[in-house]
C-alpha cells in the first residue's frame, strides 16, 4: 500500500543537540511538506518542496533545515537554534500539476512527537 512513513514515532533529545526526523513516501508525489502542531495552534508550515533539490521556507522555518535529494524523501532537521522544539511534527505530500490546480489534497504521515529536555 502506498503511503507516508514518518520515523520514529517518539523522539527524545537533549537541549543543544540537532535531531533529524525522517519522512518517506511511495505515492510518487512531487510535493512534500513539514508541519508543526502545538496544542491550540493548529498546524503551521515549516518547509515545503515542490521538486527534487528545491525547497521553500514556510511560516516558521527558523531553527529548521531540510533537504530533498530524492523524490521519496524529505528529512527535517531540528537544530539547536530552534528555541522551542518540543512539538508534534507532521509530514505530508501531494500531487502538483502544471497550471497550478491541485487535484488532490495533502496526504499525511502519522507524525513524530519530539521532546527536548
Partner 1 sequence: AQTVTQSQPEMSVQEAETVTLSCTYDTSENNYYLFWYKQPPSRQMILVIRQEAYKQQNATENRFSVNFQKAAKSFSLKISDSQLGDTAMYFCAFLTPGAGSYQLTFGKGTKLSVIP
Q: In whole angstroms, how close is the CB of 48 to partner 1 at the nearest point?
A: 7
> By CB under 8 A, how many residues form the interface with partner 1?
26
Quick check: 92 and 105 in contact, CB under 8 A?
no
Q: What nine digits make up the cell of 14?
A: 537533549
**DSSP line for 12-28:** EE-TT--EEEEEEE-S-
Site for partner 1 (CB under 8 A): which residue of 11, 22, 27, 43? 43
77 versus 96: smaller Cβ distance to partner 1: 96
Q: What nine digits make up the cell of 82?
A: 530552534
- Tracing cell 502545538 back to the chain, one arrives at 38
Task: Summarize as ranges the residues that interact with partner 1 (CB under 8 A).
Answer: 31, 33, 35, 40-45, 48, 50, 56, 58, 88, 90, 92, 94, 96, 100-102, 105-106, 108, 110-111
Amino acid at each position: 500500500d502506498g503511503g507516508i512513513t514518518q520515523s520514529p514515532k517518539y523522539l527524545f533529545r537533549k537541549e543543544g543537540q540537532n535531531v533529524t526526523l525522517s519522512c518517506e513516501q511511495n505515492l510518487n508525489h512531487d510535493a512534500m511538506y513539514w508541519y508543526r502542531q502545538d496544542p491550540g495552534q493548529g498546524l503551521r508550515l515549516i518547509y515545503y518542496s515542490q521538486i527534487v533539490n528545491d525547497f521553500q521556507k514556510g511560516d516558521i522555518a527558523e531553527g529548521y533545515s531540510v533537504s530533498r535529494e530524492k523524490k521519496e524523501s524529505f528529512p527535517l532537521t531540528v537544530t539547536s537554534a530552534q528555541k522551542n522544539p518540543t512539538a508534534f511534527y507532521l509530514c505530508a505530500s501531494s500531487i502538483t500539476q502544471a497550471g497550478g490546480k491541485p487535484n488532490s489534497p495533502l496526504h499525511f504521515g502519522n507524525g513524530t512527537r519530539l521532546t527536548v529536555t
